[in-house]
A and B are shown apart, each in its own frame.
Chain A
């Protein structure tokens, strides 16, 4: 059961807090991580549009596999200027 650190920004931070730890099944992907987060925080559901992920400060796809100690950043697009 790897433990992953999640770092959130903007509206996602308003829901999740700046960072939190989450334990996932072995071989879990970024997609599984997001599903687990939505399960604990249903308000995340509407915030998926355009969302990208980074693993250990590198942009990654939803299929990226996660390992113990990985840090995943949730990066929503911002529109404002």
Chain B
């Protein structure tokens, strides 16, 4: 790309005025390629700032479509985009923002089958995903391909940001064991403050641009912890783990692997109740709603027994193991956890509401909640 053109000079003039960037830095950005995994809450600000900054080629991997509940924080999307593929909508928005750059809209799931191949095509990879399996896949692929990864993850008011690269630790050095499926809520389960991914994603964009410009102190071996409620950031230092299975002294992992998605696998010996069958099933069994009180306040199914998952162990005595229970939560993750605890306590007549109350509510059977 030729930056002698007045158009580019005008567009990037505020960068060109900074000694650390200047014309050479801006040319470096124009020649750079960034892969953004996930066009959601974190992806939106990351994509917008990288495109605005003039990163020459930006890949967007996302297999999802825009949902109305995304619009509270995913600021690349508009009301009229509901139902449209995120990668495509995001690419259109970025092209409108900066027609001088190339955008690869990759409408697919990033997983072990394509991770290395995709990562290889870019200089820096930004993990904006919302699943642990994608996070491990991203880190493994970047480590194997010698790429820089800018990592961030969020929960409600909290964020974590760091950089992984060949000179430092990887995600597995920080979190060697993936949490048990269903034990850590996603944004859809636990909720998230709309502005939080904006704050945390902006930090990611900053680290990605620094990496491409090769300026500043990289956030390597430092986990930045953002607490939006306290309006405070803290830092934890960490090093390469000699026992890391990917980048330690005796690595055993040489290809990215997908975590087994136990959260989607049927529970052995537990009957899955489809949302369409719930009304009929409730004639013979009790619907046990394990959502938290603030969620139950948004709507309860008539006749349901409400015991929040957080109180389940303390209130187990209120339940009768001779009775049948259909265990349900919002999307079907905590209900699986609850079934595990109930089984440990000797309950045998358990069923599970497939897809949770969200899918039941979508049937429009007189029960509505959000």
B159–A78 contact, CB under 8 A? yes
Q: Total A-B residue pairs with C-beta atoms closer than 8 Å?
A: 108
Q: B277-326: which have CB < 8 Å to A?
A: 309-310, 313-314
Which chain B positions have C-beta within 8 A of A10?
Answer: 155-158
| Residues of B in contact with A, size category | 35 or more
B129–A81 contact, CB under 8 A? yes
Task: Identify which of A10, A75, A77, A78 gathers the most chain B CB atoms within 10 Å of its CB.
Answer: A78
SS class of chain A's interface: helix, strand, loop or mixed?
mixed
A73–B236 contact, CB under 8 A? yes
CB closest residue in chain B, given A59: B238
State the Cβ distance, B158 to closest chain A Cβ, in Å: 4
Could you tell me how many residues of chain A have their Cβ less than 8 Å away from some Cβ of chain B?
26
B152–A81 contact, CB under 8 A? yes
Tell me if B170 counts as interface (CB < 8 A to partner A): no
Distance between Cα atoms of A43 and B42 in the complex (Å): 30
A77 touching B130 in the complex, CB below 8 Å, given contacts A10-B158, A57-B237: no
Distance between Cα atoms of A73 and B184 in the complex (Å): 18
CB closest residue in chain B, given A43: B310
A81–B130 contact, CB under 8 A? yes
CB closest residue in chain A, given B151: A81
Give 13 pairs: A residue, B residue, CB < 8 Å, sorted on A. Answer: A9-B225, A10-B157, A43-B310, A52-B175, A54-B236, A57-B235, A58-B237, A75-B236, A77-B153, A79-B184, A81-B128, A81-B153, A81-B187
> A residues within 8 Å of B by Cβ?
7, 9-11, 13, 18, 42-43, 45-47, 49-50, 52, 54, 57-59, 73, 75-81
